[in-house]
Amino acid sequence: MSRRILIAGGGVAALETGLALGDLAGERMRIELVAPEPVFSYRALAVGEPFGLAESPHYDLAAIAADRGWTLTTGMLASVDPARREARTAAGDVHAYSALVLALGAIPEPALPGALTFAGPADAGPLSEALRALTGRVAFVATDPGWTLPLYELALMTARWARAGARDLKVVVITPEGRPLGVFGAPAAAAVEEALAAQGIALRTASVATEVADGAVHIELEGPLRVDLAVALPRLRGPALPGVPHDERGFVPVDRFGRVEDAPGVFAVGDITTRILRQGGLAAQQAEAAASALAAETGADVTPVPYEPVLRGMLLTGAEPLYLRRGTGPGWPATAVEGEPLWWPPHKIVARRLGPYLAAHPELVLPATHAA
């Protein structure tokens, strides 16, 4: 008898989990996807939209589900009863499961009072309008040293866009990091510093911004920095799903296979978990680990492989991208930075199964008017 696997979410982690389970366990599982909307948005490209350099494609989730033999339900998960192995949506629908995979992501919130928050495609239009009306100094600000790569993409593309249009803009990056994208290691940080300097972008590291007020970004221990516009990355919080263990910020603690302690049959992958770095490629790797454990539980000939993160990031610059990598692996240095792809296909989000699947199915892309 096949097991009923309920996957809650409609992003990278959810789709990678479903694809992996299908490949590893096949007919041993019946997969139901409960997603908040019937569209998968490739949000990582949103940073290019304000400059007309990229567009976030949207994919038809119903078509993906039909192609893979999944059941798709549109709805938002509201609570879980692990003892009864049931999940309830906000509409009151109850879904029984053999195993539940939570891939609900995180919720963005403004992190810097007074700043324009850039959290994804919905913020591309407001940023574009603000930049086009601007002269003077624009600051791109991170308040959290976690995943800051989009901050540098926005700064680099703004500087190139301003120079190409002969616009009088000065760009500064303010970050609590010791070095820009230091999480990728010293070679990557040096390459990013060089790229910023080449575009005339000022860099203020180890700086904690607290608010934007009276025409300035206020920085602890440093004082105010005059700006005409401040753009900040959001702060993330977890959904704090009733019935599922979570920390004070709503994130779910998991083991190396994504299992949720004290919640039998429940797994969590991606941004909903307590892991500090929240990034699409890492979410896909967490999904692979959970899928391998779930497939093995069904009796499939699979050896569970725990989550051992390898961080990969494509830094969009407005010209040629930089490819960054950090993590152990056969034949790889601990850190790498190149102007040529370090993985294939060279997608923005590195997902073992989702990337090739989307590349093989261009017909799943929704027209822009439909996606909107």
The C-alpha atoms of residue 111 and residue 301 are separated, in whole angstroms, by 46
Contact 313, 346 (CB under 8 A): no
Q: What is the pLDDT of residue 286?
A: 98
Q: What is the pLDDT of residue 1?
A: 60
Q: What is the pLDDT of residue 178?
A: 97
Burial class (CB in 10 A: 0-12, 13-18, 19+), 301: exposed
Annotated domain spans of the chain? 3-108+236-309+349-371, 110-234
One CATH from 3.40.50.2300, 3.50.50.60, 3.30.590.10, 3.30.565.10 for 3-108+236-309+349-371: 3.50.50.60
Average pLDDT by consecutive 10-residue portion of the chain (372 residues)? 91 98 94 97 95 92 97 97 97 97 97 97 96 96 96 98 95 98 96 98 98 98 97 97 98 98 96 96 98 95 96 96 89 88 92 95 84 46
Q: What is the pLDDT of residue 317?
A: 96
| The two domains 3-108+236-309+349-371 and 110-234 share their CATH topology (first three levels equal) | yes
Top-level class of domain 110-234: alpha beta
> How far, CA to CA in Å, does 320 sit from each of 78, 142, 148, 156, 160?
43, 24, 19, 11, 12
Residue 150 CB partners (closer than 8 Å, separation 6+): 47, 118, 233
Tell me the residue type at 285.
Answer: Q
Q: What is the pLDDT of residue 101?
A: 98
The C-alpha atoms of residue 100 and residue 5 are separated, in whole angstroms, by 6
Q: What is the pLDDT of residue 369?
A: 54
Tell me the residue type at 201.
Answer: I
- Regarding beta strands 71-74 and 29-35, do their DSSP bridges make them parallel or antiparallel, or are they unpaired? parallel
Residue 122 CB partners (closer than 8 Å, separation 6+): none
The C-alpha atoms of residue 9 and residue 348 are separated, in whole angstroms, by 20
Q: What is the pLDDT of residue 372?
A: 44
**Is the dihedral angle over the CA atoms 236, 241, 247, 252 positive or is it negative?**
negative
In this structure, the chain runs to a length of 372
DSSP string, 313-328: EEE--SSS-EEEEES-
